[in-house]
Amino acid sequence: MSNAAGARAAMDVAVESRGPNSWEIAVFSVKQWFKSAAPYLNLLGITAFVLFWYATTEYLKLPWFKKLPGPVGVFKEWVSRDPAYGISIYTPEYYSHILKSVWRVVQAFFLATSLGVPIGLFMGWKKVFKDYTFPLLEILRPIPMLAWVPLSILMWPGREQSIIFLTFLGSFFATVLNTLLGVESIDEVYLRAANSLGAKPRHIFFKIILPGALPFIFTGLQISMGFCWFSLVAGEMLAGEYGLGYLIWNSFIMVEYPVIVIAMVTLGVIGWFSSALIRAAGNRLMQWKVREDAR
Amino acid sequence: MNSETGSCHLGDASPTARATGRGQISIRNVSKLYDPDGARVLAMDNCSMEIEAGEFCVVVGPSGCGKTTLLNAIAGFHDITAGEIFIDGELLCSPEKKAPPGSDRIVVFQNGALFPWFTVLENVIFGPVVQGGIGKKEAREKAREMLNQMGLHGIESNYPSELSGGMRRRVEIARAMMNDPRVLLLDEPFRAMDALTKTVVQQFLLDLYDKCRKTVFFITHDLEEAIFLGSKVYIMTTRPAKIKTVLQVDIPRPRDFRVLSSSRYMRLKKECIEAVHEEALKAFAAGEREMA
């Protein structure tokens, strides 16, 4: 009985005009985008690059470029039912490399986010905790991921763990730092207002610190996703048996040059897609920010 | 001048204040010395005020004179270095005791502090929900009712960034009122507003005050605003802030914009301007000295 009433009340809140919803805003902004010159200029830029690539490698065959695979060769190989070097959109190997890499990134990114965000939030919230951890963070953070490779191999029993660890490291520090900056960006006045309204520490943490830091956290997550892919490929090149990074390095050794470019472009597309996914998740969680920007 | 100071003793103040209403504030000989790195800046010097329960008290003084220091002490954000502040006969702060901030003394801030990540409704129910003792559903109903009474219906699901400045300030006052505070502390809340918006929001505050008669402690540097809104106006000196004059504003309530052209208002304003002008000159001269 009271449950039903509660559900109805919740419905009322949801149904009550919330202005345009996020989907409508998204459709509207895509429509607006196609009315502007931007998409056509985007396309023109990409076409110009491909033409330049084609001209230097396959048409003019300039001395520096003649060893490189050209766009036509790469494309033919990519969509071939019977690829010369064994990798195309019709071969299961292609997808198993992609899946392996994606799965590694998902694990590392999940670990880095679920550890990095709380640590960053605590560092920003409790000065004592920051005093303990910040110098350590600042010393560990600039160490290039590649420098961790030997220790990582020594530390972990298998290659898989050490690749995931390397991928994790790259994104972990970016997440912590951006979360910390996010907390520090929160105007003191919100904390005062919350205290004045009778908030207890847990409310301060969940209702002020966390939502207040969210815009920075999501910027950080996009950066950290980039680091994830960077570190992953480096890790796979050194220690992998599968994955796009391994594929690139192995194709280089085996002189299967078009495969290198296929794997590179695949990495680019997946990387872009994963960033877009994080942006979408951020927009979903931060309706207030979306509507602020839409104005 | 401030003849009421000392006439009110702790012993007799507490029972009577509780009987007649909540929100009686005694500020007794309060000073605040900032001493960050031995600079010893005196922000407030021996200020005493008596604010009756349900009184609209305005403190007016030149910018940067230390008015906000006093408000922050009552709110529980800062401590004081001498004197005592009582609320309804209870000791709130003294040099030994800093009051924690609490929902019985809600602050409306100069630049606004609605949480941008919450909708209007979520902002307004924030106080009751975090204080506990009331369900979310009940709080929502109460909030809707309050917003309707204040003429703020239809914006429950908007975010603060979607509202005009005047609307935002009204929502913030509504958020404060949801907690049924003993005193409403307003720190130059209409400072950054254009003249038209300001009159609308001032009228809103006056109407609200007529309805509920909360104690209001209002800080401003705007004399006209002070006389228009307040029942009692404390005029502060330039830093360190001391009380220069107390003005009883005997304009009857309810008030509206027509007050601004009444002869009573003009007379009070004239009185005020003379007192404040002198201080403004001093403040200006002090500024010149600091520059030199």
Does any domain span residue A15?
no
* Structural element, H or E, at residue B60: strand B56-60
Q: How far is CA A147 from CA A40, A170, A233, A237, B168, in A?
A: 43, 11, 14, 14, 52
- Domain-terminating residue out of A64, A94, A120: A64
Q: Quick one: A171 exposed, middle or buried, by C-beta within 10 A (0-12, 13-18, 19+)?
A: buried
Does any domain span residue A12?
no
Put simply, the answer to whether A190 touches B127 (Cβ < 8 Å) is: no
Are residues B108 and B172 in contact, defined by beta-carbon separation less than 8 angstroms? yes
> A106 with A203, same domain?
yes
Does any domain span residue A3?
no
> A191 with A235, same domain?
yes
> A49 with A132, same domain?
no
Per DSSP bridges, beta strands B56-60 and B232-236 are parallel
Q: Of the candidates B100, B137, B161, which has its C-beta nearest A288's C-beta? A: B161
> A55 with A77, same domain?
no
Residue B111: its chain A contacts at CB < 8 A?
189
Does any domain span residue A225?
yes
- Domain-terminating residue out of A48, A64, A80: A64
Handedness of CA B66, B67, B73, B77 (dihedral sign): negative
> A75 with A118, same domain?
yes
How many Å apart are CA B86 and CA B81, to the nearest integer?
15
Put simply, the answer to whether A190 touches B75 (Cβ < 8 Å) is: no
Give B146-199 pLDDT, tens digit per residue. Answer: 898 888 888 999 999 999 888 999 999 999 999 989 999 999 998 888 888 888
- Domain-terminating residue out of A64, A88, A122: A64
> What is the edge-to-edge ordering of all strands in the sheet holding B41-51?
B41-51, B25-34, B82-87, B90-93
Put simply, the answer to whether B130 touches A200 (Cβ < 8 Å) is: yes
Does any domain span residue A206?
yes
> A40 with A73, same domain?
no
Does any domain span residue A36?
yes
> A122 with A233, same domain?
yes
With a cut of 60, say whether residue A123 has pLDDT above it: yes
> A184 with A54, same domain?
no
> A27 with A118, same domain?
no
Give B25-48 pLDDT, tens digit per residue. Answer: 999 988 888 876 777 788 888 889
Question: What is the amino acid identity at position A274?
Answer: S
* Structural element, H or E, at residue B85: strand B82-87
With a cut of 90, say whether residue B229 has pLDDT above it: yes
> A31 with A115, same domain?
no
Residue A16: its chain B contacts at CB < 8 A?
156-157
Does any domain span residue A9?
no
What is the reported pLDDT for B1? 38
Looking up residue A126, the CATH number of its domain turns out to be 1.10.3720.10
Take residue A15 and report the two structure tokens written for it: 């149904």
**Residue B9 confidence class, pLDDT cut points 50, 70, 90:** very low
**Alpha carbon B256 to chain centroid distance?**
20
**CB contacts < 8 A (A, B):** 90
Put simply, the answer to whether B130 touches A198 (Cβ < 8 Å) is: yes
Give the pLDDT mean for A80-97.
91
Domain assignment of residue A54, given as a range:
20-64
Q: How large is the ipTM?
A: 0.84
**Residue B10 confidence class, pLDDT cut points 50, 70, 90:** very low
> A60 with A161, same domain?
no
> A155 with A41, same domain?
no
- Residue of chain B whose Cα is closest to the Cα of A10: B137
How many Å apart are CA A177 and CA A223, to the nearest integer?
11
Q: How many domains does chain A have?
A: 2
Going from the N-terminus, what domains does chain B have, and what CATH number goes with each? 10-104+184-291 (3.40.50.300), 114-180 (no CATH)
Q: Which residues of A touch B (CB under 8 A)?
A: 6, 9, 13, 16-19, 187, 189-190, 192-200, 203, 207-208, 211-212, 214, 286-289, 291-292, 295
- Find which of A11, A13, A192, A197 to mutate to test the B interface (most B CBs within 10 Å of its CB): A197
How many Å apart are CA A115 and CA A100, to the nearest integer?
23
3-state secondary structure chain A: CHHHHHHHHHHHHHHCCCCCCHHHHHHHHHHHHHHCCHHHHHHHHHHHHHHHHHHHHHHCCCCCCCCCCCHHHHHHHHCCCCCCCCCCCCCHHHHHHHHHHHHHHHHHHHHHHHHHHHHHHHHHHCHHHHHHHHHHHHHHCCCCHHHHHHHHHHHCCCHHHHHHHHHHHHHHHHHHHHHHHHHHCCCHHHHHHHHHCCCCHHHHHHHHHHHHHHHHHHHHHHHHHHHHHHHHHHHHHHHCCCCHHHHHHHHHHCCCHHHHHHHHHHHHHHHHHHHHHHHHHHHHHCHHHHHHHHC
Take residue B6 and report the two structure tokens written for it: 């000392």
